[in-house]
Structure 1
Amino acid sequence: MAFRGPKVWLWRWRRNPLKRRADAVEAWVMLGAWVLTLLAGVLAGLASTRSVEHGLARERVEWRPVVARLTEPAPGASSTHRATSSGDRVWGKVHWTAANGSSHTGQVRVRPGSATGAPVTVWTDRQGRLVTRPATASQARLRASLIGGLAGLSAAAVPFIGGRALRARLERHRMDHWDTEWARFGPLWGRTTG
């Protein structure tokens, strides 16, 4: 095993007669890649989080519950107990009137066997179209944080991978240069003076 000696931090920026120009270029490339990685990840993550939170908050303000009525009996047997999951529900056709007075119909999940005219609460947007129930504030924070984290990681991956690829290319270039130099001076080492 070769002895490496103590690790010297920031050796590529220190004065050293053995330091090559390629070492300094590689150091600056990697520093730039790390800075871009950090900035891209943080900025993209924060922007995505803010955008998702804003969109979900707007949904909570704009989307409203409306009482709709079944237009035909719901399929399935009537149950005396309240449905506890979407698996206990069937699709039923409903009719409602939006806040602007327009009439709408659509299909929503209802209890099996519900009678015609049974009230069903549905959520609608400003135009009266069916939407899902908006996320609560805590659900919105969690969703925005997860999406922001994924967006930040994805954005940070681009400069990180680019920096690694550029470093590998610099390394190949350096090795090719060393091979050329070795081919030129290697045979001279075998000669003796005398």
Structure 2
Amino acid sequence: MAGNPRTAFAPVRLWHWRRNPLRRHSDVVEGWLVLATWLLAVVAGVLAGVLAAQAVDAGFSAQAARVHAVSAVLTDDAVETPATAGGYDDGRVWAAVRWTDADGSVHTGRTKVFPGAPAATGITVWVDRTDRVASAPVGGTMATLQAALTGVLVAPPVGAAVWGAGWVVRARLIRRRLGEWEAEWKQIGPQWGNLSGGRG
């Protein structure tokens, strides 16, 4: 009566840990190495992803701390048609603006506004500590999304690198075990041949 193939091959899955006369110390080491590699790959990937996300979030926070918003006005009418010289274009145009600090100092600069805005239009401008126009900081949902996306992109390569390192070590163990088998067979093979010949 034919046995169940699944039952027949079930012990093979955990043969590195099962006691049997053919199991060697290197087999046990290999089994633990595979398990440790899986665990380390997952942990390292998750940890790298979390650290990367935190680093990006900290970068956004640092950027936000270096700039502040001021109320400014356009000094001239903004052009009607945005320039499309190729590359990324958000549909806005460059225009000159003017704002006054809390101490009464007047500053000017250039920022992007929507086309056709008339002079004296009030807008919000982000400036740095030297009163130069700067990019608006990334914050809120966009900052959270970019940080999370960075973590998701960083985690797999790190986990794969750890897994690859474990695979290299495992391959060396396998080559070493095959070498041991070959050396032992060179010793036992002739004796096995003599026993077989004697039985004949």
TM-score of the aligned structures, taking structure 2 as reference length: 0.68
Would you say the 8 A contact 1:89–1:110 is kept in 2?
Answer: yes
The DSSP-based 3-state class of the residue aligned with 1:15 is coil
Q: Which amino acid aligns with 2:135?
A: T
Is it true that 1:193 corresponds to 2:180 in the alignment?
Answer: no
1:91-140 Cα distance to aligned partner (Å, 9 max, x none)? 23444445676665543223445566554422234554433333342222
CA distance in 1, matches of 2:25, 2:107: 72
Quote the residue 1:88 is aligned against: 91
**CA distance change for structure 1 residues 46 and 78 in 2, over 3 Å: closer, same or farther?**
closer
Percent identity between the two aligned chains = 39
Indicate if the aligned counterparts of 1:70 and 1:118 stay in contact, CA closer than 8 A: yes
What does the per-residue CA deviation read over 1:42-94, in whole Å, with 9 as the maximum and x for residues that have no partner? 222223333434444565676433233445664x4479xxxxx9543222344
The amino acid that maps onto 1:11 is W
Corresponding residue for residue 176 of structure 2: 173
Q: Which amino acid aligns with 2:141?
A: S
Quote the Cα distance in structure 1 between the aligned partners of 2:49 and 2:102: 37
Could you tell me the TM-score, scaled by structure 1's length? 0.70
Distance 1:89 1:137, change over 3 A: closer
Paired with 1:99 and 1:165, the residues of 2 have a C-alpha distance of 64
Q: Note if 1:33 corresponds to 2:57.
A: no
C-alpha contact (below 8 Å) 1:78/1:114 kept by paired residues: no
TM-superposed CA distance for 1:188, in Å, is: 5.2
Whole-Å separation in 2 of the counterparts to 1:52 and 1:62: 16
What's the CA shift for 1:36?
1.7
In 1, Cα distance between the equivalents of 2:104 and 2:20?
Answer: 81
How far is 1:20 from its partner?
Answer: 0.9
User: How many angstroms does 1:18 deviate by?
Assistant: 1.5
2:146 is aligned to 143
Amino acid at match of 1:13: W
Any residues of structure 2 matched to 1:1-194 within 5 Å, and which? 5-8=8-11, 9-56=13-60, 63-70=67-74, 74=78, 76-77=79-80, 86-97=89-100, 105-112=108-115, 118-186=121-189, 189-191=192-194, 192-193=197-198
Residue segments in structure 2 that go unaligned for 5+ positions in a row: 83-87
Q: One-letter code of the match for 1:28?
A: W
Tell me the CA shift for residue 185 of structure 1: 4.2
In 2: Cα distance, 1:131 partner to 1:86 partner: 18
Verify the 8 A CA contact 1:99 1:128 in the aligned structure 2.
no
- Go from structure 1 to structure 2 and tell me whether the alpha carbon gap of 1:11 and 1:116 turns closer, same or farther (over 3 Å shift): same
Count of aligned pairs between the two proteins: 186
Structure 1 portions without partners, runs of 5+: 80-84
SS at match of 1:146: helix
More off after superposition, 19-28 vs 108-117: 108-117
- Greater shift, 97-106 or 135-144, is seen at 97-106
